[in-house]
Amino acid sequence: MGGGAEDAVRGGLRVLELKDVDFVRDGKLLLGGVSLTVAGGERWALLGPNGAGKSTLLNLCGAITHPTRGTVEILGRRLGTVDIRTLRESIGHVNPRHPLRSPLSLTDVVLTGLTGTIERMPRWEPSAEQTARAAELIALLGVADLARASWTTLSQGERGRALIARALIPGPQLLLLDEPTTGLDLAAREQLLETLDHIHSTHPNLASVLVTHHLEELPRSTTHAVLLHNGRVLAAGRADDVLTTPLVTETFAHPIQIHRAAGRWLATTHR
């Protein structure tokens, strides 16, 4: 990424900007009139019920799909006018349903983040610097003792931390997390959330967007939130202003009481 874009990220300027975005598939409006701005260092939560359009919105943020109408700019580059492959090198995408089936080692899985592939590319070998960077991230994520372990033997929580290291190894300016605690038990979930908090403390300029259904799955480091309902933004802004009882109740069309304690959110039903 060019120096100007890097300086913008360091200065807390726009990393991601959507303006009046519509997304239509098979004649159905999945997103309507969506506008959202994410600045460097901000950690956004994206919440809403099933079918609200969360995954569709995340795919736009990750340059995986293009809007039907409106504009999407990622790191100052507008979708439709830029080489998507180059742009994706600046985006880290964490999907807990990573489709790897072969017994690659955890280290090799992390290294595939440099090539943007699921498997190791034939005849490609990482440099000594890249290998050292992989080891550094694996240690940062707390799985150094599993560096040589086969992917097929890792727990879901261990895989989740490996995938975050994989997303970070290219040095992205934007990190996208699609329901990263899917399939985790309580202890593994808490370990992953602590890891995310640690990542944000060690990468203060990194912007992130995390998709979840559950407020309990938000890390303490969350700064902003956007609520989606029927493909439209119901509210977006500072987390404390958005994650409120009235707004979350409206988003999920169900009476929900929001509490916050020790920096974490809790949602319970109230009548």
For the stretch 25-44, pLDDT in tens is 999 999 999 999 999 999 99
Q: What is the pLDDT of residues 106-144, one digit of tens each?
A: 999 999 998 888 888 888 899 999 999 999 999 988 899
* DSSP letters spanning 166-205: HHHTT--SEEEEESTTTT--HHHHHHHHHHHHHHHHH-TT
Structural domains of the chain in order of their starting residue, each with its CATH number:
3-90+174-269 (3.40.50.300), 99-171 (no CATH)
Q: Evaluate if residue 52 carries a pLDDT over 60.
A: yes
* pLDDT tens by residue, 166-203: 999 999 999 999 988 888 889 888 988 998 999 999 99
For the record, the structure tokens of 210 come out as: 């995390």
pTM of the model: 0.87
Closest by Cα among 96, 94, 107, 100 to 149: 107
